[in-house]
Amino acid sequence: MTRYTSATPDDRREMLDAIGVSSVDELFEQIPEALRLGRPLALPDGMGEAEVYERLAALAQRNADAEEEVCFVGAGMYDHYVPAIVDAITSRSEFLTPYTPYQPEISQGGLQVMFEFQTAMSELTALPVSSAGLYEGPSSVASAGYLAMGATKRHKFVVSRGVHPHSRETLRTYSIGYGAEVVEVGLEGGLTDAAALAGAVDGETAAVFLQSPNFLGAVEDVEALGAAAKEHGALLIVACDPMTLGILKPPGECGADIALGEGQPLGNRLDFGGPSFGFFCATEAQIRRMPGRIAGETEDVDGRRGFVLALQTREQHIRREKATNNICTAQALNALGAMVHLAWLGREGFRELGELLVRRTAYARERLAAVGGVELLHEASVAREFAVRLDAPVGRVLDRLAERGIAAGYPLGREYPELEDGLLVAITERRTKAQIDELAEALAAAVAAEREGVAA
């Protein structure tokens, strides 16, 4: 018995006596013999705290992270610079509580942050209503499907294969519970196949899901693709990368009913995959079906500006089985990081950052396409990420680059069997021209070595 395990042998004895059972084994006799292990768990002996620390530290050492490697991996989460002010503000104890601020009289700070975050996301997506943040991107996509089913009373989703694979997988998983059908539409030249999409959408379709820039980095013509949704009365749901919203036409101006996405690029580091948050904006018509919390602006009895949770009666604490989302509460802190990052960049700075990404990405794309054995996977316009094909095994080339401290990109074959030779390369403002040049040189050497069969 250790100080980390609260029940002592005496405690257990007392509990067993109270329910009239002689041993823990007897407690489990109801479980059929065949389902029981019949022996103690094969666990190693306990360790002292210092030993545990050493062991875990050694395991942690084996991880590579974006501070050690030059990271060109994106695929939905990106290695942006997070300014120190984000940590300074998000680490304030007032913001560290994950509890939902139901009591406005003691929660003005938290509620104001939610309201300001919503205002920013609403402006960036050009949609009037924003929630205060969801769990992450993929579950936001799946929640949008549920909303669309409620709004249209239909049960079919038409989804571009340009939508993030994790989002499509989450939507498929949720759809089993929703009783919905998911139809995927393929890509042509890096972009959603418009004819196939138009053919897949019909009067049974609840929603059309697009992503722009899509998973291959290509900027989709959301307005043109969305026409099929409009024609059949389906909702148009657009996943987007928040970092591109300062330079691309916002989804709300392209006919989107819902714009959402992974919020990590704003004010959140990669952090080995999370936690992060999702954003979710919609037209006013959908406000009562929106997942997550919404903060609203109001006045107190003395006429001073104040904030409250709006539409609170629709919250999950009242109707669990009808809740549209149950896992958003603790993401407020991540959304705060995004809000601080946006405020730090400012209106102009945010646009300038987007322009910088486009320029640097164009340079990297051109530089890599000029490498022998490397060609562009598609010619479509991109913003901050692009795809190439390698005339060499992608996994082995990545291993060679990793030895030089470069995480060169995301191997597309992992999610797209038809793109086994594909590599997805992401650019952030942290990637310098010199690093891009180094990537091109290292890639050239690695591809050449693989083609010549040189041992790594």
Partner 1 sequence: MSDATYPEDLRYHEEHDWARIEGDQATFGITWYAQDSLGEVVFFDPPEVGAEIQKDSSYAEVESVKAVSDVIAPMSGEILEVNDVLQDSPERINEDPHGEGWLVKVRLTSPEEAQQLLGVEEYRKLLDN
**Contact call for residue 313 and partner 1 (CB under 8 A):** yes
Nearer to partner 1 by Cβ, of 151 and 353: the residue is 151
User: CA dihedral defined by 447, 162, 294, 339, rounded to 10 degrees?
Assistant: 30
- Name the β-bridge partners of 184: 159
Cα dihedral 396/402/407/409 (nearest 10) = -10
Q: How far is the CB of 288 from partner 1 (least distance, A)?
A: 6
Residue closer to partner 1, measured from CB, 72 or 146: 146
Which residues are CB-neighbours of 244 under 8 A, at least 6 positions away?
A: 213, 354, 357, 383, 384
Contact criterion met (CB below 8 Å) for 213 and 187: no
Query: Closer CB to partner 1, residue 61 or residue 313?
Result: 313
Q: Does 318 bind partner 1 (CB under 8 A)?
A: yes
Q: Which amino acid type is present at position 137?
A: G
Tell me, what amino acid is at 129? Answer: V
Tell me 238's DSSP state: E
**Distance between CA atoms of residues 189 and 240, nearest Å:** 20
Task: Closer to partner 1 by CB, 246 or 292: give it.
Answer: 292
Amino acid, res. 389: R
Is position 156 an interface residue for partner 1 (rule: CB under 8 A)? no
Whole-angstrom Cα Rg for the chain: 25
Nearer to partner 1 by Cβ, of 55 and 288: the residue is 288
- Kindly state whether residue 320 participates in binding partner 1, applying the rule CB under 8 A: no
| DSSP string of 184-225, one letter each residue | EE-EETTEE-HHHHHHH--TTEEEEEEEES-TTSBPP-HHHH
Q: 12, 13, 305, 319: which one contacts partner 1 (CB under 8 A)? A: 319
Contact residue for partner 1 among 3, 153, 304, 320 (CB under 8 A): 153
Residue 80 or 314 having the CB closest to partner 1: 314
- Our CB check for partner 1 shows the closer of 5 and 313 to be 313
CB of 279 closer than 8 Å to CB of 250? no
- Which pair of structure tokens corresponds to residue 172? 């498929």
Name which of 84 and 301 has its Cβ closer to partner 1.
301
Tokens 């666990």 correspond to: 43
In angstroms, what is the minimal distance from the CB of 159 to partner 1?
A: 25
Q: Which stretch binds partner 1 (CB under 8 A): 5-13, 93-101, 316-324, 435-443?
A: 316-324
CB of residue 224 vs partner 1: minimum separation in angstroms?
30
Nearest distance in Å: CB 206, partner 1: 14
Asked whether position 288 contacts partner 1 by CB under 8 A, the answer is yes
Residues 6+ apart with CB under 8 A from 448: 372, 373
The nearest distance, CB 349 to partner 1, in angstroms, is 40
Tokens of 342: 């946006």
153 three-state secondary structure: coil
Residue 218 near residue 385, CB atoms below 8 Å: no
Q: State the Cα–Cα distance between residues 159 and 180, nearest whole angstrom.
A: 12
Interface with partner 1 in residues 373-402 (CB under 8 A): none
Q: Which window, 161-169, 239-247, 290-298, 315-323, contacts partner 1 (CB under 8 A)?
A: 315-323
HSE-up of residue 401 (Cα within 13 Å, Cβ side): 31
φ, ψ (nearest 5 deg) of residue 354: -60, -45
How many residues at the interface with partner 1, by CB under 8 A? Answer: 7
Q: Which stretch binds partner 1 (CB under 8 A): 29-37, 216-224, 314-322, 335-343?
A: 314-322
Output 36 or 288, the one with its CB closest to partner 1: 288
Of the candidate residues 164, 269, 314, 400, the single one contacting partner 1 (CB under 8 A) = 314
Shortest Cβ distance from residue 311 to partner 1 (Å)?
A: 8
Q: Which stretch binds partner 1 (CB under 8 A): 55-63, 174-182, 313-321, 417-425?
A: 313-321
Residues that bind partner 1 (CB under 8 A): 153, 288, 313-314, 318-319, 322
